[in-house]
Structure 1
């Protein structure tokens, strides 16, 4: 295979701050490796001269294409915009904000545009400074908030950059042009964009992308939907530039450049495409340790200073009446739409209530009939996790402004509110909220009061992935090694941060569940990130059991009940693995392209499909036992970033759908759904 290699110049390799940012770039690039990026094959950010090798992508950069062939035609622009919107959607789903999308960072491959170069700050790109140091980005393609509030930059900044990139593709210049980066900065913040020459059919969308305020810009999903309405025939999977005018003698630019040239980025040297063979046949590329590509793809490291955005939306509104309430002893089910909108509410169960959230609203439902017990407006914005009961209070996920609120489960009144500590992600464990920061520290916040309890680094973890599981008293931190040969798994006490157990296990592993004193992990392929085995590790005895999967699963979600792990991969393959019998029990092709994390009850495994169906699968035999109707609503073309997990409470199962419906069904009889 051919590789493209990026090597940091010696003078910048001596700068610890630059090394830290390059390390973050490597982590981000690994995390987003997929159909719209150049996958990382190997890297060593800690070597004397830090470097990263990515798969060589044939195709010119958008910058080179426009220089040689001129502005793109309208049809090409539609395909480019759709492909980049889809790329940003996947990048944001991985929890990454690019922050430097520009024409030289877009490769025009035959199968669609690829986005490259994640998060590295080039000290010589701009002499502008923030109060805290260097400005991250390239001024002509930066959003206003990158100049005004650099610490609050989120995924909407990438959408602004997309608008600027589209103007460049359509006209050969940006919407804000000047030889001075200071003037460009002023224009970006204060002036209207110059869209002269942008075709009328895409100009309105481009203008929306270039809105000054982040909340006024469309999401990548909205862009894709609007582009379908403009031209239903566009194809984001086939992007072939109309002209390829590289000189016939082969002296022009290389066909693909996943790394910048030294001229484009004085901090980085770009090696030519390098041929590498598999290790078993000898290795021509001897750059250092092998990278664990799958670790990034499944988030085994929390990427510092990179915000995340699940692409869900919806507006709060007046509740619609629930269907007739259950009056008989047998639970016959109900459905209701408690908030107007077109996103699936995210729900959990606690304090005898269904606790749900959607954009702009947190609410509680009576599980017996679905009527609204209370509702409370919150900051609008996408939600990644449902509210949970922690410390006796309802704790919704952080709002887009990283504001924490805790509600009384009976009345919905706010008990306390705080700014989230640091800039990292949060998980809930017992009565605690655990935060991971970009400095590698983990902090514990008391769920009942909102007061900080502890904050420190966990030995052996620079930027750990933290997971907690219902019924297990520990929080699990995992960090994969650079070469993918092992993963450090540490159990800590959420109340104090004290280490309860610590081990280095073989392979690149992702925790998916814990039961009876054991933690279950997926063993991931270091090339594609596919799951190839399930591992059960028991800290008390040190025993490790590994059960291979019959067929690797792509991007799997996993859950555990008893000694069985249930896994659902992209494409709809659902499998059950018994860790005591050490065998795969069954496999079912559900027909879904995407589904939620499975949830296992006593007799059935439940999964939410992207069209709003709730599926029940017999846990022993692996056959489909029943499913609810699809509930897509009036926007069937919309693709949600994450799907709500079903909520199982005894013999009742609760689900939600993209049309805003929340419903309850009798889990004893899925065939009657």
Structure 2
């Protein structure tokens, strides 16, 4: 984001303006914020063209009949507009991304599978435009935004034209630019590779895909997130809250990040893999950002890393652990799941760490729960009930009509009557008595990694909203728009529901109505996806952020009571993805680096830290005198909860 010029507006419609994202001959694109704190992109027609009625009509034409579900056309999500204002403006949702021009200039041509998906992603909005006898008219690499959820066609409206003849040639040129040359286009695009003129858009080969999960090379995804981090960090420093809110809660100053090209080299802790799943894109991004953080701190690969600390016991799974540790005292085991190359569910002896049993799956939950003594877990598109002592199957749902078969992952929470399965863009409630689907709720965008249950309701992130659903019927009771992807689910505690997002907003909502009770700015705006879920105890709400801060917030007032920084290097990894666990007066949390931490709940002071072999993103479990956690080094650890060591 560039600084706003002296003659740029401070506000456009309901949005505060922070700075410029880009310009074109007809319009200026700004980054701003809504009154509710959502980051937005505001395109404003240049004053020199403000009286151009044809331009206003083109803008209006690009807005009319635009699908509310932007994912159907892969256009940026439309928020508000006023084409009758002077000058006219249109606001869309902010999405982290790089333009195709930036991505190719920094990282080189895209691989063939990504080019094929790019073609599909651009054909969707072009087919929509051409079906309305309109065209884009300015299709070029700088007008294509690459996001982790697919490409977005930019500048629709100000570039809109009525002739469709130029778009096919422009699209071929864009795809050739992405591939590194026309001759390098993938075989599926052979029809446009040969011949002097490509076919009209409606006759192009077109097979719509269901998902763009993991479609970009992970260095491009990481660079997109870092670019968004820069913009949002600068925006927050410029626009941080209203004067009244400033007097109520003192902001913490965020460190400015300087972007520079990052060399992409393999991390010894990350297994090599030809394709990276979406759930692992940000895990792999952590390795890339770790290189940058180490370089900024003067650390080289020749520098000796501190050795792992000594645990009560350690079990090596050989693969990364990124999810939940679950203790089942009745069975004497702790449950853990690996999820990188070898998806496998493990049951380890609580006292010794010896493996009791394991089960392999192509797709596997890394969040699961116990109901009536059975372990509820999703494996390969089905909900399973397992005996936690032996791993044997008690029952499993059929896959017909269940609706999670194609999800890469599906995580489970439950109450006494229903299991709630979260995966892809869907929440499914399964009646535990009949093992049939009770209801399902689909979201045009993604859903949070998990859901939580609170007082007869299901709390879940349906990007961009935190949503409360009736647990019996799935009816939406309320929703609160945070304006961003939600990696973590809301958490109910008493009469409040707590939710944070990756740009640094922590919000306490009335659990019955969704009305805002507290709104706190933490140190967000980083490169991660904000998967740390709030934990609440003794009047303090605790959460980790993508900028490596753990915050303790007073639940009664929303005042920040303490914060603790887990990493001395700003660019190490993608921040804290571990959710805090509170046991008595101690908070246990993975640092987002190689350390697992114990903090004092009242003050945030460090009690102890335990060094592992790689990033700790898992959510711990506490039982007896031990705390159990996992790391990206493939190990499950058990340490003394008071000392953080073997005894």
Which interval holds the TM-score relative to the shorter structure?
A: 0.5 to 0.7
CA contact (8 A) 2:385 2:396 kept: yes
Q: What SS does the aligned partner of 1:529 have?
A: coil
Equivalent residue in structure 2 for 1:80, among 98, 107, 119:
107
CA contact (8 A) 2:581 2:589 kept: yes
The 5-angstrom pairing of residues 139-154 of structure 1 reads none
What does residue 334 of structure 1 align with?
A: 313
What does residue 611 of structure 2 align with?
A: 629
- Establish whether residue 649 from structure 1 lines up as the match of residue 623 from structure 2: yes
Alignment deviations for residues 385-433 of structure 1 (CA, whole Å, 9 cap, x no partner): 333324643233454xx34433222221123243242677654222433
Aligned equivalents of 2:92, 2:634: Cα separation in 1: 44
Aligned residues between the structures: 448
What does residue 609 of structure 1 align with?
A: 591
Name the CA shift for 1:309/1:9 in 2 (closer, same or farther; >3 Å): farther
Aligned equivalents of 1:115, 1:553: Cα separation in 2: 16
Structure 1: which 5+ runs fail to align?
A: 31-39, 66-75, 89-95, 123-137, 143-161, 185-213, 226-233, 239-276, 281-306, 315-330, 482-486, 633-639
Equivalent residue in structure 2 for 1:516, among 479, 494, 497:
494
Aligned equivalents of 1:537, 1:363: Cα separation in 2: 38
Equivalent residue in structure 2 for 1:445, among 430, 434, 442:
430
CA contact (8 A) 1:43 1:51 kept: yes
Equivalent residue in structure 2 for 1:366, among 349, 352, 356:
349
Aligned equivalents of 2:618, 2:492: Cα separation in 1: 21
Shift in Å, 1:367: 1.5
- Establish whether residue 559 from structure 1 lines up as the match of residue 522 from structure 2: no
Normalised by the length of structure 1, the TM-score is 0.52
Name the CA shift for 1:357/1:506 in 2 (closer, same or farther; >3 Å): closer
The 5-angstrom pairing of residues 61-80 of structure 1 reads 62=101, 79-80=106-107
- Establish whether residue 412 from structure 1 lines up as the match of residue 398 from structure 2: no
Equivalent residue in structure 2 for 1:572, among 530, 536, 548:
548
CA contact (8 A) 2:93 2:483 kept: no
Aligned equivalents of 1:366, 1:385: Cα separation in 2: 19
Alignment deviations for residues 61-114 of structure 1 (CA, whole Å, 9 cap, x no partner): 54xx9xxxxxxxxxx9794159x79xx9xxxxxxx9996389x785499xxx95
Name the CA shift for 1:537/1:121 in 2 (closer, same or farther; >3 Å): same
Q: What SS does the aligned partner of 2:375 have?
A: strand
Equivalent residue in structure 2 for 1:180, among 164, 184, 191:
191
Equivalent residue in structure 1 for 2:327, among 349, 352, 373:
349
- Establish whether residue 434 from structure 1 lines up as the match of residue 408 from structure 2: no
Name the CA shift for 1:536/1:666 in 2 (closer, same or farther; >3 Å): farther
Q: What SS does the aligned partner of 1:385 have?
A: coil
Name the CA shift for 1:223/1:575 in 2 (closer, same or farther; >3 Å): closer
What does residue 388 of structure 1 align with?
A: 369
Aligned equivalents of 2:637, 2:623: Cα separation in 1: 13
The 5-angstrom pairing of residues 186-197 of structure 1 reads none
Aligned equivalents of 2:370, 2:626: Cα separation in 1: 19
Name the CA shift for 1:492/1:602 in 2 (closer, same or farther; >3 Å): same
Aligned equivalents of 1:168, 1:10: Cα separation in 2: 34
Alignment deviations for residues 523-581 of structure 1 (CA, whole Å, 9 cap, x no partner): x6xxx8331x54252539x9863153476675653422222111221221111001125
Question: Please, what is the CA RMSD of the aligned residues?
Answer: 5.8
CA contact (8 A) 1:79 1:236 kept: no
Name the CA shift for 1:546/1:615 in 2 (closer, same or farther; >3 Å): same
The 5-angstrom pairing of residues 285-364 of structure 1 reads 309-311=279-281, 333-337=312-316, 339-343=317-321, 346-350=324-328, 351-352=330-331, 353-358=333-338, 359-364=342-347
Q: What SS does the aligned partner of 1:341 have?
A: coil
What does residue 146 of structure 1 align with?
A: none
